[in-house]
Structure formats: structure tokens, C-alpha cells
Amino acid sequence: MFNKILIANRGEIAVRIIRACRELGIQTVAVYSDIDRNALHVDLADQAVCIGPARARESYLHTENIISATVLTGAEAIHPGFGFLAENSKFAEMCRECRITFIGPDPEVLEMMGNKAKARQMMIKAGVTVVPGADGVLEDFDQALRAAEQIGYPVMLKASAGGGGRGIRIVGSAEELKKAYETARNEAKAAFNDDSMYMEKYLEEPRHIEFQILADHHGKVIHLGERDCSIQRRNQKVIEEAPSTILTPELRKKMGEAAVRAAKAVGYKNAGTVEFLVDKSGSFYFMEMNTRIQVEHPVTELVTRIDLVQEQIKIASGQELAIEQEDIQIKGHALECRINAESPTLGFRPSPGKANILLWPGGNGVRLDSALYNGYEIPPTYDSMLAKLITHGRDRTEALNKMRRALDEFIIEGIDTNIEFLFQILDNDKFIKGEIDTSFIAKEFNLR
């Protein structure tokens, strides 16, 4: 096992990783930017190293500075968290060259899964059902046109280098295709310096259901069930839950097996997520694989009682997975609400500033993952997620009631938050009935 781990991240997830390390008896090194000198992760870690100015490019994304901090402090491994360098194959490669363990999959796998068109090809080869569409990247407009005719409109153009909703376009007809193809390519070129595109049939109002997997370095892969992440706004998840209200045990088994097959096909190691779209008939299609620990991992932790971050560290140290697929039993129901410093009445614009916490939620079945403390000055520089409130009940209704109760207790002054907006979702009849899909917020709240 490692003696010391450097956490290449900030905020709530840095705190989450430090906590896991503590419980495993591992020393921690925090890194921070100038503007984060008073951040909680800096205080909680055993050591902290400043890695540059506020701008992420010059600090949390600055690979040389992070590697230097690791060598300087004698940390043997880096946990990248999510965002920043978590899915950066070049960074994982640098770690390898410097003999530092990157807590995550191999650089080759990061590279492969980062290219969404390649990932799709790999899944076809592995026998995992993908969304109907064209094989491989589109060579030119004529090929795109022929592909769309064959697939049938509406189609979706996706950037190979995109993912998570970036660089995608819905195309309703052949007339729209020319312009959509050109602008999507230009956008992808500007955003990712890679304009290769692929095409899928556009599925209407699908559910976003993802499977958590764990894979050790000895060929063992298991899945830990699903999370339903259909409640999103502009490709940002807002509420996640486990289990999904639409999965039968049979469908869960089939999708879980597909997720495990996907991971095995690419030689996946560590924790990962296989994202599927599920249509009204219950057919499911591979969409993307996320090669990191995810924001919403706590809902899986609550229904499986497995500490995913501890498992990541144990796997990276070379230990064999001590959990069998048969040991995984989904118990009860968990919900997660992302609490953001933002103003829903002002188009959800970020609301940085000094937070005055009058009351923290707590009690039976309530978990709060946050890097917030009273008097903390939320910087305008990074994302606006303040806290994740997660509840666990014996069933969905109990988890929902606990969430309402816990949200009601949470009193933050000094900044705007989305807490009221979360209440409105939780009180929506369709949400209560579990009748959700990826266009829920757009439809129910006239938002886009």
C-alpha cells in the first residue's frame, strides 16, 4: 500500500479523497492555487503545495508543477479526482515515466475512451450494443449525407473528441445537415483541435443510465449497479439516484454484464462508468465510458456500502478486488442533489462570495460531501458546485422525504443557491412517480 498520495484536485472531491486516505492510514498532499490558499482541502491534508495562480491552466492543469510537487513531497501516487487532469492520457503517461502511480486506468485506455468514435468502434467489436449509426468517423460531407439517409432523421452529429454533451448537434433533415456539419466541425476544431465527427440516430427522450464498474490489475471486473442521471440541465447533472425506477432485475443483469464486457474489452483498470441511453421500450445503447471517479459516486456507495475511493486506491496499489459480483446487493434507495452557488432566477448565473452557513443538514440517512465551511469565500474561478447532499432510505419515497427534510434544514446566507429549484424538482408529480428522462427539466421548467 502507498505511504503518501498527492491529490491533484480541489473542492469537495479533494476532501473526499483525503478522507479515504485517512481511513486507510495514508499520508496526503494537497495542491492548491493562489486563490485556494484558504480552501478546506489545504487544511485537511497532511501537507500542501502551492502549484500556481488561480487560473486552472497555470495550476490544477499544470502537469509539470503537479509532478514536481509529487516528487518533492515523496508521494508515490496521484489521485486526479474528476475534471482537470483526470482523463488526460498525456498526464497519465507523464506519471508512468516518472514512476508515479496514476490512480486510474492506463494512458492507452484513457486515450481510447477519450476518442468517442474509437470507443464506439471498440464496443461494436466487443459485442456491446451501441446507438444505431454510422461506423467510424465521417470522412466528408457526402459520407455524412449518405449515412444520415441510411440511419434516418433525426440524427446526432458528435465530435469524436467531445463527450459529456460537448460538440453535439441534432440534425432534423438533409437540408439542415450541410450547415450543421460545417459548424459542428468548426466548433470541434476550435474546442478540441480535432474536427473528426461521427453520427448516431437521435433517440428522443431517452434516460441516461450509467453503470459503475470496478476492475483490478488481475483481470477481475465487477459492476455495482446503475445510477439514473436523467435529471440534467444543459448537460449538467442536477439530481442522480440509484437504483433506477425503470430497471428490472433482468435488465440490470443484462446491462451490468454489458458494462463488464465493455471494461474487459479495453483492459480497463480501476473505477469507471459505462453510460447508456435507454429508450421507452427498455432497449439500451452504449454511449460513452467515463474513465474517472464521478461526482455522483456516493449514491452507489450508499446502496452498496462500498467505499469507491478506497477501492480505487487499493486497486492502484495492486491489490486484488476482495468483492465478488455475487456480494453486490443493492440495498434501499439513494438520491443526490448537487447544491450550486448560482442564481436560478438570473439564468443560473454563478453566485460566488462569502458563504454564511447558518445550519448544516444532518441526521439519519443524510450525507453531505462538501468543502464548504462557515465564512468560506467561494472563488469565481472554478465550477459552482458547493456541496452534494445525499440521502439513503429503505425505498425511494423514504429517500425523497429525507432529501426534502435535509434541504429544508440547509441554511446558507451570503450567496444564492439552487436549493429552491431542487425543491421544485422534488415536488414535481412526474419526478415523484419516477417518470423522468433527459428532457425533464427543459420540459417541466421551460428551460433549455
Residues annotated catalytic, as ranges: 292
Asked whether position 200 contacts ligand MV4 by CB under 6 A, the answer is yes
Among 232, 291, 294, 384, binds ligand MV4 (CB under 6 A): 232
Comparing CB distances to ligand MV4, the nearer of 139 and 204 is: 204
Q: Are 329 and 303 in contact (CB under 8 A)?
A: no
Which residues of 147-297 form beta strands (DSSP E)? 155-163, 166-171, 197-201, 207-215, 221-233, 236-242, 270-278, 284-290
> Cβ 151 to ligand MV4, closest distance in Å?
10
Comparing CB distances to ligand MV4, the nearer of 32 and 286 is: 286
Asked whether position 290 contacts ligand MV4 by CB under 6 A, the answer is no
Helices 116-126/249-265 angle, 10° precision: 110
Q: How far apart are the first and last CA of the chain?
A: 47
- The footprint of ligand MV4 on residues 419-448 (CB under 6 A) is 438
- What is the contact mask toward ligand MV4 in residues 114 to 143, using x (rule: CB under 6 A)? -----------------x------------
User: What distance in Å separates the CA atoms of residue 335 and residue 400, rounded to the nearest whole number?
Assistant: 7
Asked whether position 226 contacts ligand MV4 by CB under 6 A, the answer is no
Stretch that binds ligand MV4, among 61-69, 203-211, 302-310, 365-373 (CB under 6 A): 203-211
User: What distance in Å separates the CA atoms of residue 59 and residue 366, rounded to the nearest whole number?
Assistant: 34
Q: Are 278 and 284 in contact (CB under 8 A)?
A: yes
Asked whether position 295 contacts ligand MV4 by CB under 6 A, the answer is no
> Cβ 258 to ligand MV4, closest distance in Å?
17
Among 21, 287, 368, 385, binds ligand MV4 (CB under 6 A): 287
Among 5, 203, 262, 263, binds ligand MV4 (CB under 6 A): 203
User: What distance in Å separates the CA atoms of residue 410 and residue 415, rounded to the nearest whole number?
Assistant: 13
Give the angle 124-130-134 at the CA atoms, nearest 5°.
80
Comparing CB distances to ligand MV4, the nearer of 70 and 232 is: 232
Phi, psi for 237 (deg, rounded to 5): -70, 145
Asked whether position 312 contacts ligand MV4 by CB under 6 A, the answer is no
Asked whether position 284 contacts ligand MV4 by CB under 6 A, the answer is no
> Cβ 348 to ligand MV4, closest distance in Å?
16
Q: What is the DSSP string of 103-118?
A: SSS-HHHHHHHHSHHH
Q: Which amino acid is at 239?
A: I
- What is the contact mask toward ligand MV4 in residues 153 to 192, using x (rule: CB under 6 A)? ---x-------xx--x------------------------
Comparing CB distances to ligand MV4, the nearer of 17 and 122 is: 122
Secondary element (H or E) of residue 24: helix 11-24
Comparing CB distances to ligand MV4, the nearer of 342 and 437 is: 437
User: What distance in Å separates the CA atoms of residue 435 and residue 276, rounded to the nearest whole number?
Assistant: 18
User: What distance in Å separates the CA atoms of residue 165 and residue 169, rounded to the nearest whole number?
Assistant: 9
Among 32, 84, 91, 202, binds ligand MV4 (CB under 6 A): 202
State how far the alpha carbon of 148 is from the alpha carbons of 123, 154, 156, 198, in Å. 21, 8, 9, 11
Among 208, 269, 292, 388, binds ligand MV4 (CB under 6 A): 208
Residues that bind ligand MV4 (CB under 6 A): 131, 156, 164-165, 168, 200-203, 206, 208, 232, 235, 277, 287-288, 438
